[in-house]
Chain A
Amino acid sequence: MSSETPGQRALRELVATARERGRKRHARWRPGVFMQLAESNVRDAWGSLAADPRREERVSAWLDLLIEAMGRGLVDEFTVAGPGSDGVLGLLLLDRLPRELGTLDAARMAELWNLGEALAREPKWIDLTLAQVLERRQTTCAEIESVLTATLETLHAPSPDTAPDWKGGDTEVLRIERWAPRFVPGRLRLVRPNVVALRDRESEAELAVSVFADGLTCVTSGASLPDRTTPTSTAAVAFVPGTLRIEDARWRCEGLTAWQHVVVSPAGFAVATCVDSQRLWVARAG
């Protein structure tokens, strides 16, 4: 202890106080997980704020959030291992907040917590999709409200009044094993104009495939996806190995040798699966 710097001592005391607070507040308190965080994420954040006169206040407020999240079972060893995999709150707490702690005060952190907690009460696939969008768009804490608003508008968007102008081109190929190693794509159904439910061929499991106009496609667990479907496009669809044709436009579909299922959305995209393949082909109108 004698070689401890004042900063190290301050952090140790901060962590000890937080640990005690967590234990008194929550029955599900996991001291092991908390210490794992304290010795990695918290220590790194503390170090990065060395020149910040409000360092102690910022880290202490962040620890308040971590304590609550752990106590409510929203953060565990699995979340710690892969932030974002368990919704917006996990991503904010373990990734965005520590990264931007120097720009955040307690009031803003409380707002972000409230956002994350509210989204945790939404259907699971929505929370997971939003988390993935925030992560892949590298959204900063300052941009979160606008990105969430835009994403929610896309996920809930009604069918457009006008038919898309199908132009053809290359398809996006998604390897589903990245998200679900044992998932074999089977049936497809359009649950929202921009959201496709993808059913596993071997089980009842579903994935949510959300297609955004700017080229981003997100795949998440389909937990709590709605049962009802939305009308698909009436455009004429045809297939020859390696090529998908919608109306008069053609898309190159490398590896799509035996078309299994395809769904065409009036929002201007099509998703196709192939027999015994874990790949998914997404063709956009143009």
Chain B
Amino acid sequence: MNFAERVQAWKQGRASAQDGGIVFAPWQGEPPVEILRRAYRWIVEQAIVCDAPDLILGGAPSTRKGVMSAGDAYASYVLLPLLNLVTHQRLLIIGAPGRGKTTLATLMALIAGGELAQIRRDTQHGHPQLTLADLLGSPLPGNLVEAKTIDEVHVAWRGWIQRRVKIVDEYNRIPTKTQSALLSLMAEGYAEQLGHTIESGTSAWYLTANDDLGGGTFQVIDALRDRIDAVVRAAPFEGGQMRILADRIAERERPEDLVPVDCRLTPDALDAADLEVRGIAIGDEVLRALATFASQLEFCQRASDQLPYMTKDTLRVAGRRLAQVCNEDCPLDKREHACAQTEGGISTRAHISVLRFAQALAWFRGRTAVTLDDVRALIPWVLHERLRPNTHSGFFSEDRHEVLLSDRAGWITQLFDRALALDSARSEERERVEALETRMPRDVAEARALLDEVDAARRTLLGSEELSGAVREDALRLEALHRRWISLAEGR
């Protein structure tokens, strides 16, 4: 090895002289996750200043009765928007006026490499007079006059449609018709005007609302609401922020003016991060927990006499509400079973959102696989706008549970814990079903023997246990097993 040559080569690096000063090329090869972690710390310590962690992993949140226990802890208000940047989903920021919702969304666009003036031009401000042309663009008047056919009309699309970070401020003030156009853009990734379409490309969406329960000018259409992958609440103002506020007044500064260069991600880095996040493993334990949670929330014994239709979706399609059937005629203990607490279940889209954010969280924490802790920490924010409490449930009539009607995140966490506890209480029955699922009969005789066991297990299950969401799920799995092997058992 020639060390003299090596030393000479080392002198050519990032630093170079320019106009008497020294400039530095960007640091090559720095993992995007490091930049995002730095951005997180900068925002909570210097920009929004809200280091009151409420997203706790492996510990418990701070309560009146005690301090939080050890574990990773993050401010969901900052972390989820950052994770949204690399998962390219749709995030709603809710909170009272003046809490920094738009500022936070703007910071995200800056971290994604945007320029402040451009971001401001691209931000869509919801108001009752917002038209399709305002939102999407329109033909230039001259072109419209000269065009002989609709194909000759050239739509001047609004630039924001193809930005990587899209900000829609006060989305619940947008008129219903314009909301539908927004829905196409958010859900399908394209916009349409006068027979012309434009693709929105890879996008991370940030919507803001003062509240999402009627404070807006217009009711948000359900389909649009369901497209929102996660929700964060604006951080409360903490007394410790006063000094920073005073300094900012003195310096005439806003956080948007101060995003450090080393907190910014290039489009390539965002793409690389997206790939890395998709590579984070999701183990069976996590999928099992999500499945059992969903099956318990979806279940309603009183919706039908048939097992497959014992769901809240059956009720919804029939135009009935849970409170109308979740009464003393249902033998389940309403204080114990999660099904009694929610008006509806969880959509497939919601499951995808949970998994995408959980992968991103595990990646952010430097893990190679999603853990149950990741899912538990995120699930309140993904389901925040998707789960509605059944306020008539006996569960909420208990004094100690009443507070959960206002603390939706706390309520959903409790719901998740309860569902998993119920599931683990009947782990033996569950393992029996799983053992049957792993059997592979090799001939007719073995298939018949297995079918006998499956039928016996189903009879035992439905005969000895009260019919809950978890029992229904196992019964349906046994029915599926029966269908799988019946042809072989009957020699067909």
Q: Interface stretch among A107-115, A230-238, A263-271?
A: A107-115
- Report the count of interface residues on A (CB-CB < 8 A): 33
The answer on a CB contact under 8 Å between A24 and B260 is yes
Among A27, A57, A111, the residue within 8 A (CB) of B262 is A27
Question: Within 8 Å CB of B8, what residues of A?
Answer: 145
Question: Within 8 Å CB of A60, what residues of B?
Answer: 20-21
Question: Within 8 Å CB of B15, what residues of A?
Answer: 65, 68, 109-111, 113-114, 117
Report A51-71 CB contacts with B as 1/0, cut-off 8 Å.
Answer: 000000100110011001001
The answer on a CB contact under 8 Å between B262 and A26 is yes
A61 to B263, CA, bound (A): 23
A172 to B136, CA, bound (A): 80
Question: Within 8 Å CB of B13, what residues of A?
Answer: 113-115, 117-118
The answer on a CB contact under 8 Å between A119 and B21 is no
The answer on a CB contact under 8 Å between B14 and A114 is yes
Report B299-338 CB contacts with A as 1/0, cut-off 8 Å.
Answer: 0000000000000000000000000000000000000000
Q: Interface stretch among A32-40, A148-156, A278-286?
A: A148-156
Among A106, A119, A153, the residue within 8 A (CB) of B17 is A106
Say yes or no: is A261 at the interface (Cβ < 8 Å to chain B). Answer: no
| Number of A-B residue pairs at CB separation under 8 A | 96
Among B18, B23, B38, the residue within 8 A (CB) of A28 is B38
Query: In B10-38, which residues have CB < 8 Å from any A CB?
Result: 10-18, 20-24, 27, 38
Say yes or no: is B242 at the interface (Cβ < 8 Å to chain A). Answer: no
Say yes or no: is A201 at the interface (Cβ < 8 Å to chain B). Answer: no
Say yes or no: is A166 at the interface (Cβ < 8 Å to chain B). Answer: no
Say yes or no: is A25 at the interface (Cβ < 8 Å to chain B). Answer: yes
Among B21, B260, B261, the residue within 8 A (CB) of A106 is B21
Question: Within 8 Å CB of A175, what residues of B?
Answer: none
User: Given A27-B38, A110-B22, A117-B15, A149–B260 Cβ distance below 8 Å?
Assistant: no
The answer on a CB contact under 8 Å between B11 and A111 is yes
Is chain A's binding surface mostly helix, strand, loop or mixed? helix
Smallest Cβ-Cβ distance to B18: which chain A residue: A106
Report A121-156 CB contacts with B as 1/0, cut-off 8 Å.
Answer: 000000000000000000000000100110011001
Question: Within 8 Å CB of A118, what residues of B?
Answer: 10, 13
A26 to B173, CA, bound (A): 37
A106 to B15, CA, bound (A): 10
Task: Quote the shortest CB–CB distance from A13 to chain B (angstroms).
Answer: 15
Question: Within 8 Å CB of A167, what residues of B?
Answer: none
A111 to B10, CA, bound (A): 8
A60 to B19, CA, bound (A): 11
The answer on a CB contact under 8 Å between A149 and B4 is yes
Among A27, A71, A107, A113, the residue within 8 A (CB) of B39 is A27
Task: Quote the shortest CB–CB distance from B343 to chain A (angstroms).
Answer: 43
Task: Quote the shortest CB–CB distance from A64 to chain B (angstroms).
Answer: 4
Smallest Cβ-Cβ distance to B257: which chain A residue: A24
Say yes or no: is B418 at the interface (Cβ < 8 Å to chain A). Answer: no
The answer on a CB contact under 8 Å between B263 and A148 is no
Say yes or no: is A77 at the interface (Cβ < 8 Å to chain B). Answer: no
Say yes or no: is A105 at the interface (Cβ < 8 Å to chain B). Answer: yes
The answer on a CB contact under 8 Å between B16 and A156 is no
- Most chain B CB within 10 A, of A61, A111, A153, is at A111
Question: Within 8 Å CB of B160, what residues of A?
Answer: none
Question: Within 8 Å CB of B46, what residues of A?
Answer: 27
Query: In A210-245, which residues have CB < 8 Å from any B CB?
Result: none
Question: Within 8 Å CB of A119, what residues of B?
Answer: 10
The answer on a CB contact under 8 Å between B11 and A64 is no
Report A1-36 CB contacts with B as 1/0, cut-off 8 Å.
Answer: 000000000000000000000011111110000000
The answer on a CB contact under 8 Å between A115 and B7 is yes
Task: Quote the shortest CB–CB distance from A209 to chain B (angstroms).
Answer: 21
User: Given A26-B262, A27-B38, A68–B11 Cβ distance below 8 Å?
Assistant: no
Q: What are 16 A-B pairs with beta-carbon distances under 8 A?
A: A24-B258, A25-B260, A27-B38, A29-B260, A61-B20, A61-B22, A65-B15, A106-B22, A110-B15, A110-B17, A114-B13, A114-B14, A114-B15, A117-B14, A118-B13, A149-B7
Q: A-B pairs with the 5 shortest C-beta distances?
A: A114-B13, A118-B10, A27-B42, A106-B17, A110-B15
Binding site for B on A (CB under 8 A): 23-29, 57, 60-61, 64-65, 68, 71-72, 105-107, 109-111, 113-115, 117-119, 145, 148-149, 152-153, 156
List 12 extra interface pairs beyond A106-B21, A114-B12, CB under 8 A: A26-B262, A27-B46, A65-B15, A68-B15, A110-B16, A111-B15, A114-B13, A115-B11, A119-B10, A145-B7, A149-B4, A149-B7
